[in-house]
Structure 1
Amino acid sequence: MPEQRTRLFRIPPHQLGAAQSWMEHGERTPVKPRLAASVVLVRDTAAGTETYLTYRGGESPLGAVAFPGGSLLPSDEELVDWYGPTPIQWSAYLGIDDHQIARQYVFAAIRELFEETGILLAGSDDSSVLENNRGPEWMAAREAVAAEDESFASLLKKRALGVRTDLLKPLSRWLSPDFAHRRFNTQYFGAAQPVNQEASLLTSKGIWGAWKCATHIVQNQDTTALGDETGQELAGGLILSEITVPAVPVTLEKIASSKGCIAYLSHKRPLRTFQPELIEQDGEYMLQVQTNAGTEGGSAQRGR
């Protein structure tokens, strides 16, 4: 068994009231979490492995600064051409008895990545992937899917594309803490940026998004640098754990400890479910998480 490490994270300011109420009034029945999927998109650069982060408004259960992702939708049940592991195989990978739910997790992950970044993990067969995702036509397609004016399945069918599920790697599952007013049961996946595809913000909803070096963020996680960079009032002046959920810094540390994005994505890891626990320490409410110690995918890399 890997060595366990106890981690403590600060609580985002907007959640402090809910945390205090939960502690003062005793435990109650938590809000039922919505199923969600999120994709850790990575690429290698001279400075180290980078991942794409975005700013999310509306007190998202994924965090104010997060990896692309969102809730599963009823339309994620629509059938499309499917390349890679089957839903039954994904059910085994994710430890989910219902292969339909496993299928929706995978499909939602690919859909959300497309909506929020334009990266499309799809091709015309099991060995091809879309080569160009730029231009007004593709932005219009993203807008239509995001507004639910057109289903993602319909978009793929019109373009004779199928989802490349083999380009996704399961990472971990995270449950929002019990005290939160909005909760997600989020399956995190990893994926490498496809050649000739570029990430960009959705015109109508995008606020801030950027490729960030994981090592650099980890080294500066106790500063307000990332929050200040977003230019958003609710993130400025706050450290990393106050603008993210614990899944984000934990994942960033794993990326930073790996020897490149391929090593990170191919690393053999047991699929674990994490849920931060609310505790009080020295008069301050904190989130406590048990994580695995050690590196992933080889030696830690140094940014230059």
Structure 2
Amino acid sequence: MVSNHERTPRVHPEVTPKDASTVILIRDVAADAGSSGIEVFLLRRVAGMAFAGGMTVFPGGGVDPSDARAEVRWAGPPVEWWAQRLSTDAALARALVCAAVRETFEECGVLLAGPSPDTVVEDTSHYAQARVRLENRELSFSDFLERENLVLRADLLRPWANWITPIGERRRYDTRFFVAAAPNGQVADGATSEAEEVAWLSPADALAQWQRGSSILLPPTWSQLEALSAFGSVAEVLAAEPEIPVILPTLITDREPIRVEFPGQDGYYENGPHPWSVRD
């Protein structure tokens, strides 16, 4: 549990947000599970990490300079379509999609790429060494895909949301959220230096854990779980075309308890524990 003292913020001058990508991996509940609906893949970040340490999150991270320079074989909607849906220019849209696929592979071993534009890798275990080198920035993602003769499957991603870390935080990100179905045969794992624990949970179960105090959810994660709890299948999620407004929460520091305010926050402060800040 995070103490009130530890939640006391150090408000910083306005910091320019770094572009980032987060991928919400989803799968249908197994047919023999006795229930229906979807599950999402979640990681609990290592407690000592400078950003969102100890929080339960989706896989993701900042755009790397190599993502912007990546020359990859591309399957799916053209970069111009992504630029329109992500409300940005083509160069950044390309970098965001590349970062989404790269970060998902680094953080949980799921690779949205295949030998051809209509196939996807079935087993990523033999890329384990390359995965470590990618995480350590010893290998660029475009070089990895070229070496393995793989096509980036942008068509397996769907744009979902856009949140910006509040002004006043020391580390700020302009994060585009994507959703993607976990490819058949691939195993999402926690073999990354950034995760203490990973799990597949239904959105309802993930929210119930948070309500019990078993996890800490930042507002963007909580909001996506709330939204996804309304869907009954992966097909329904992938068919959705949500509006993607830019959400910039406001950091409220002039009263106790300190908090952030954001659209659709009803239930966040009333129903479970919450951090006011994503800093260390």
SS of alignment partner, residue 221 of structure 1: helix
Q: Residue 85 in 1 paired to residue 72 in 2?
A: no
CA drift of 1:102 comes to 0.6
Cα distance 1:257–1:14, how it changes in 2: closer, same or farther (>3 A)?
farther
**SS of residue paired to 2:8:** helix
Residue 42 of structure 1: which of 26, 30, 47 is its match? 26
Cα offset for 1:17? 2.5
The alignment's TM-score, normalised by the length of structure 1, stands at: 0.78
In the TM superposition, residue 176 of structure 1 has moved relative to its aligned partner by 0.4
The one-letter code of the counterpart of 1:117 is C
Give the counterpart of 2:201 among 212, 223, 237.
212
Name the aligned partner's letter for residue 73 of structure 2: D
Do the aligned residues in 1 keep the contact of 2:106 with 2:192 (CA within 8 Å)? no
Residues 61 and 184, structure 1, Cα contact 8 Å, conserved in 2: no
Match of 2:164 in 1: 175
CA separation of 1:146 and 1:266: change in aligned 2, threshold 3 A: same
Partner letter of residue 15 of structure 2? Answer: V
How many residues are matched? 257
Quote the Cα distance in structure 2 between the aligned partners of 1:258 and 1:164: 24
Q: Report the residue type matching 2:187 in the other structure.
A: E
The 2-side partners of 1:92 and 1:14 are apart by 43
Residues 107 and 192 of structure 2 are in contact (CA less than 8 Å); yes or no, is this contact kept in structure 1?
A: no
Deviation at 1:15, TM superposition (A): 6.9
Contact preservation (8 Å) 1:172, 1:187: yes
Scaled by the length of structure 2, the TM-score of the pair is 0.84
Which amino acid letter does the alignment assign opposite residue 16 of structure 2? K
Structure 1 residues not aligned, in runs of 5+: 1-10, 23-27, 228-242, 294-304
What is the alpha-carbon distance in structure 1 between the residues aligned to residue 182 and residue 241 of structure 2?
A: 20
Q: Deviations over 1:63-109 (max 9, x none)?
A: 7211000111111122010111111111011111x200010000000
Residues 14 and 170 of structure 1: is their aligned pair in 2 closer, same or farther, counting only changes over 3 Å? farther
For 1:273, give the aligned amino acid.
Answer: V
Unaligned runs of 5+ in 2: 267-280
Alignment of 1:259-270 (within 5 A): 259-270=232-243
CA distance in 1, matches of 2:190, 2:206: 21
* Equivalent residue letter for 1:71: G
Per mean C-alpha deviation after superposition, the further-off stretch among 145-154 and 275-284 is 275-284
Match of 2:261 in 1: 288
Identical-residue share of aligned pairs (%): 31
Q: Indicate conservation of the 8 Å contact 1:143/1:202, yes or no.
A: no
Are the structure 2 counterparts of residues 292 and 178 from structure 1 closer, same or farther at C-alpha, using a change threshold of 3 Å? closer
| Inter-partner Cα distance in structure 2 for 1:36 and 1:13 | 29
1: distance between equivalents of 2:117 and 2:22?
Answer: 23
Residues 142, 14 of structure 1: CA spacing in aligned structure 2 closer, same or farther, 3 A cutoff? farther
- The answer as to whether partners of 1:61 and 1:182 remain within 8 angstroms in 2 is no
In structure 2, which of residues 189, 194, 219 is the aligned counterpart of residue 246 of structure 1?
A: 219
- After superposition, the C-alpha distances for 1:234-269 in whole angstroms (9 at most, x for unaligned) are xxxxxxxxx232110110011111121221222121
CA contact (8 A) 1:39 1:67 kept: yes
Q: How does 1:265-280 map onto structure 2 within 5 Å? A: 265-279=238-252
Give 1:219-234 correspondences, 5 Å limit: 219-225=208-214, 227=215
Q: Distance in 2 between matches of 1:284 and 1:109?
A: 34
What is the CA–CA distance in structure 2 between the aligned matches of 1:95 and 1:59, rounded to whole Å? 29
- Give the AA of the match of 1:127: D
Alpha-carbon shift at residue 278 of structure 1 (Å): 2.1
Cα 1:262–1:162 change in 2 (3 A) is same
> What secondary structure sits across from 1:191 in the alignment?
strand
How much has 1:124 moved relative to structure 2? 2.1
Counterpart code for 1:286:
R
Asked if 1 retains the 8 angstrom alpha-carbon contact of 2:162 and 2:245, the reply is yes
| SS of aligned partner of 1:290 | coil
**1:69 & 1:12 partners in 2: Cα distance?**
27
Q: Which of 155, 176, 182 is the matching residue for 1:166?
A: 155
Q: Deviations over 1:14-67 (max 9, x none)?
A: 87322xx54xxxxx7411111110000001114431111112231325972110
Greater alpha carbon shift after TM alignment, 62-71 vs 82-91: 62-71
8 A Cα contact 1:122 1:164, kept in partner: yes
- The structure 1 segments of at least 4 consecutive aligned residues displaced by more than 4 Å after TM superposition are 11-15
- Preserved CA contact (<8 Å) 2:19 2:174: yes
Q: Output the CA distance in 2 between the equivalents of 1:88 and 1:201.
A: 34
How far the C-alpha of 1:220 sits from its partner, in A, is: 4.1
Aligned-partner SS, 1:130: coil
